[in-house]
Chain A
Amino acid sequence: MISLAGTVSPSRGIFSGSMADSEVTRGTVLVKRGFAHMQKHGVIMDVTSVEQAQIAEDAGAVSVMVLDKLPYDVRQAGGVARTASVKAIEEILDHTTIPVMAKCRIGHTYEARVLETVGVDMVDESEVLTPADEERHIWKWDFTTPFVNGCRNLGEALRRIEEGASMIRTKGEPGTGNVAEAVRHIRLVNSEVERIRGIFQDGNEQELLRISRELRVSHDLVKETGRLGRIPVVNFAAGGITTPADAALMMILGCDGVFVGSGVFKSEDPAERASSIVYATTFYEDPKVVTEAQRMVDEKKSMLGMEVKDLELRMQERGAQV
């Protein structure tokens, strides 16, 4: 069952039309969150070209995420990181049968509109790119295309859902090859969810209301989190996943799937790494399969990781804090 909690209605992203004498409705919460459900237990891979998209598709990725530069290269290049070229996205759309997602800048409503018009299947309002609005995120209810947003804690996740996100991912620290921040974020989310679940089961309405004020989100969304014992939409891991074992770790911590950014195409064995991460994500419960996947990659070919405390740019801290 898909939770419809936090739905804002009416929404400008929903519209009706007719098909074969029947009235069809597009852009509904069910259709948007349902799309995210179809990605569960899968891997979404960052790509910058048709060649990379082909490798990802052949490896069994459930979607590709188009960006101009991989997060690692965004760090190296410095300057302002924007959404990918329309031509590059269109070329990937024309040659890929799995869903195609693309990133836009935080708060950049018009980059998102362009991505929707081009026809991407989901928009990632991403801290990997340079935020365009320091005060607010995109009002995602105005779109027919579903959105995914990053979070470092439960409050961020629920605020993004309130703004219309259909899927959540941890932020982690992108482009570092270091999974530690993603682990920190999902552990924090888990402990906050656990606390709310306990309060919900105790029927303590006053405390639920107090928490919703603390998190700056609606009472309903906090209650739904307590009732379900999880974030009410699909929740993936992202930020620093580099090996099959990293992916399996994020899955046992309760993530519904993983995004791999620089980990695949900044390694020296992208094809093997892509499929091995897919196997480890889907069959994470079986250590034999994860070991088999881990055997497919060579640690000497992994991207070189970065210590998070030495970073000049902490992408996870970018964007509006409300």
Chain B
Amino acid sequence: MTRIDALVIPGGESTAISGLAEWNGLLSKVRDRISTGMPVLGTCAGIITLAKTTYDRVGRKTAQPTLGALDVVVERNSFGRQRESFEVDLDIPILGKRPFRGVFIRAPKIKEVTRPVEILAKLGKTVIAVRQRNIFGTCFHPELSGETRFHEYFLKTARDLLKEG
């Protein structure tokens, strides 16, 4: 953990990811690295683990923040269950004019931004991708789209951040 330059927390089940990371002691190490500037990208379950506040649509169950690094409120399973999972063309200005295929699987929504963050993408009025300094989060799965534009943007920005020190 001390040797890596940047981290991607991909999709998965956020409850399982955070429980396992807690159990093997990884969580506090990742938290420390993020607070000292390590670039991190969290997608779907990843943004849930990064968020300061999360709750689930089912019974509005609140969960303990996992990394508690990103100043947003995230509602889990906010777009509905698997039946409601979808693909859609997204307009993400930092990636250029060509639409980016967003894959949303039991996806969360960013319901509130509690401190100034850069909004990278919206679907209608819903915020679905943000950046706060070294922390990047998306509600969709850029790792499933079959193209690498989002990851290239993350890597390039991460490299610039590391150069700035």
A residues sitting closer than 8 Å to B (CB atoms) are 1-2, 19-28, 30-31, 34-35, 37-40, 42, 57, 59-63, 93-99, 116, 119-122, 144-146, 278-279, 282-283, 289
Contact = CB atoms under 8 A, between A and B. Distances in A.
Nearest to B63: A97
A223 to B, nearest CB: 19
Interface string B86-129: 11111000000000000111100000000000000001111000
Given A31-B85, A60-B16, 6 more contacts: A2-B144, A19-B86, A23-B88, A23-B89, A42-B16, A98-B15
A22 B58 CA distance: 26
Nearest to A122: B82
Contact of A97 (B77, B89, B105): B77
B78 to A, nearest CB: 12
B12 A42 contact: yes
Interface of B: 11-13, 15-16, 19-20, 23-24, 44-45, 56, 58-59, 61, 76-77, 81-90, 103-106, 123-126, 141, 144, 146
B86 A278 contact: no
Contacts of A97: 15, 56, 58, 61, 76-77
Nearest to A2: B144
Nearest to B55: A97
Contact of A278 (B16, B45, B82, B89): B16
Contact of B83 (A61, A98, A144): A144
A283 B20 CA distance: 9
B23 to A, nearest CB: 7
A22 B11 contact: no
Given A60-B15, A60-B16, A121-B82, A99 B106 contact: yes
B56 A20 contact: no
Contact of B89 (A2, A22, A59, A144): A22
A25 B85 contact: no
Contacts of A289: 24
Contacts of A40: 12
A39 to B, nearest CB: 7
A62 B12 contact: yes
B11 A31 contact: no
A32 to B, nearest CB: 8
A31 B103 contact: yes
A116 B84 CA distance: 11
Contacts of A145: 82-83
Contacts of B86: 19, 24-26, 28, 31
Contact of A20 (B23, B87, B125): B125
A19 B88 contact: yes
A20 B88 CA distance: 11
A30 B24 contact: no
9 contacts: A22-B89, A31-B87, A34-B105, A34-B141, A35-B106, A38-B45, A63-B13, A98-B16, A144-B83
Nearest to A143: B83
Contacts of B76: 97
Nearest to B19: A60
A24 B87 CA distance: 6
